[in-house]
Structure 1
């Protein structure tokens, strides 16, 4: 059972009931948010079957961790972060599986330049690569930067979700952008 056209208040209520152990509310919540979670995953993974795999992982994580939503921000904002992390995890797993064990295996084969290969939802393969690089030394910048620049969440929503002061979030996003710029330009 889904709540057609459910707004944030109805979704928050379903989440509260699910946190209280209401199994029907949890099932309804998952069915209601699935389209939103799939859209988040498609923003990272344009190939629908890959996005659906990531969405399924996100829904499992949401079901298992619904109790960790603190209720201060909207449930949909919290769900957005869980779905984004699931999509990034799926991307990493696929990237690792696609990496040849023997570099000579692809010697002489022209590969597409990820800096010029666009994908839907305004994201680019080079952005994901840049986030992977930044995350190694500066993991605190990645989540706020993706939530702002890819998914368009407001600074206030990000601050509530991450649990950091608004000024800190703005500084992290600014610094993250400075780190990402040279990585997005590639080697010129």
Structure 2
């Protein structure tokens, strides 16, 4: 496919064909969603090279796990989840490598000097890691709503939960994360 794919309907069509085993459709799909996937990863990871790594991981996951897309929502909503999970996985890997090599800073990053563009705050990533330890059910809905701005109904469809449950999870997640983002004031 040589035409540039831009519309959600076109992407959904490519995804359906790729899920059915059409390799050309899969190649076209991966090319079409790469910029969006990279943007999602950049929204989580502050360094371009890290975001590129996470994007590559996400595209591999899309290619190998496209069969798990339920087709009950937009492919791009499912893609958001895959990309966010890849970015968070890359963050965890990098953090573990830094701990193992003892290169972590002694102090927490200063939120006044840490980038807040598109949710790239390191304190946000740390807060989400802490939230996941005690309340993993809040992480995905909170990320999809507050970092990526997806509508509540799409989030409910993606996570397979009633709309009221999703709204409550986001509310509770915000309440838990908010104090972690304030720093030591």
> How many residue pairs were aligned?
184
1:142 aligns with 2:139: yes
Distance 1:9 1:122 in 2: 28
Deviations 1:90-122 (A, max 9, x none): 0111111112556xx88xx77562433124314
Relative distance call for 1:63 and 1:94 in structure 2 (3 A) is: same
Relative distance call for 1:75 and 1:130 in structure 2 (3 A) is: same
**What does residue 43 of structure 1 align with?**
43
Kindly report structure 1 stretches of 4+ aligned residues shifted beyond 3 Å.
109-112
Deviations 1:142-176 (A, max 9, x none): 11001111111111110111111000000000000
* Structure 1 unaligned residues grouped into runs of 5+: none
8 Å Cα contact 2:42-2:120 kept in structure 1:
no
Distance 1:22 1:112 in 2: 48
Q: TM-score, normalised on structure 1?
A: 0.91
8 Å Cα contact 2:46-2:120 kept in structure 1:
no
Question: What is the Cα deviation at residue 47 of structure 1?
Answer: 1.5
Relative distance call for 1:26 and 1:87 in structure 2 (3 A) is: same
Question: What is the Cα deviation at residue 123 of structure 1?
Answer: 3.3
8 Å Cα contact 1:3-1:28 kept in structure 2:
no
* Structure 2 unaligned residues grouped into runs of 5+: none
Q: TM-score, normalised on structure 2?
A: 0.92
Relative distance call for 1:3 and 1:151 in structure 2 (3 A) is: farther
1:123 aligns with 2:120: yes
Q: Cα RMSD between the aligned structures?
A: 1.8
